[in-house]
Amino acid sequence: MKADRGLTIARMMELGGVSRASFYRYDEGAAPRPDRDMDLRDAIQRLALEWPSYGRPRITAALRREGWVVNPKRVYRLLREDNLLCIRKRKFVVTTDSNHNRWVYPNLAEQMTLSGINQLWVVDPATPPATKVRAADNVLNHGAKGIELEDVQARVAELERRIEVSLPNRRK
C-alpha cells in the first residue's frame, strides 16, 4: 500500500519513528470500532437489574445458561466498569441471650473513679476461663492493655476471690 506521495507505510513509519501498531491505532480516517462488549453489557445489566442480589458468580452462571461463552474475570470487569457490583448486606447475628433466668451481675465499674493502675481488673467474657483469661491493667481512661496469663487456674481463683469480696450479697 502506498500513500498519496508514493511512500509505503513501512517507509513512513521508519521516517516518522513510530511502530506499526501506533500507526494503525491513530488512523484518523478509520471508522470507529464498535464496543465488542456492548451486547454482553446489555445482558449483564438485564440480569443485574432483574436479580440485584446476584454477584459475579451467579451472573456468570446465568449468562452461560443463556448461551454466552464468558470468563468470570470479564464479567467482573464489566460489572465494575458499569458500577453494578453487588454489595452484600450481612445478616445481623444475635450473639447474646438476654432472655434467661440467671443472675445478671451489676456493672460496678460505671460507679468507680479510677485514679491509678491496678484498680480495675477486666476478664474477657467471650473466652472460656479454662482456655485463656485476659486481665486488663490500667483501664483508666478506657485504655485497656491485655495480658496473656500463664497460670490460668491461679488467676481464675484470684478473680473469683475478688468477686466474692466485691459482691458479698450476690446470688449463687
Rg (the chain; Cα; Å): 35
Does residue 146 lie within any of the structural domains? yes
Asked if residue 71 and residue 117 are part of one domain, the reply reads: no
In the numeric block, which cell numbers belong to residue 34? Answer: 464498535
CB atoms within 10 A of CB 133: 21
Does residue 26 fall inside a structural domain? no
Measured distance CA(138)–CA(34) in Å, rounded: 67
pLDDT tens, 117-149? 777 776 666 655 544 444 433 343 344 444 444
What are the tens digits of pLDDT across the range 62-102? 999 999 999 999 999 999 999 888 777 778 887 777 788 88
Q: Tell me the three state secondary structure of residue 13.
A: helix
Mean pLDDT of 33-40: 84
Q: Is residue 159 part of a domain?
A: yes
Domain, as residue range, for 133: 109-166
pLDDT above 70 coverage of the chain, percent: 71
Q: Count of domains in the chain?
A: 2
Length reported for the chain: 172
% residues pLDDT > 90 (the chain): 23
Least confident range of 16-20, 65-69, 152-156: 152-156
**pLDDT reported for residue 107:** 77
Comparing CA positions, the residue from 51, 47, 54 lying closest to residue 87 is 54
116 domain residue, yes or no: yes
Residue 4 lies in a domain: no
Same domain as 114, residue 77:
no
DSSP characters over 22-61? HHHHT-TTSPPPPPTTHHHHHHHHHHHHH-TT--HHHHHH
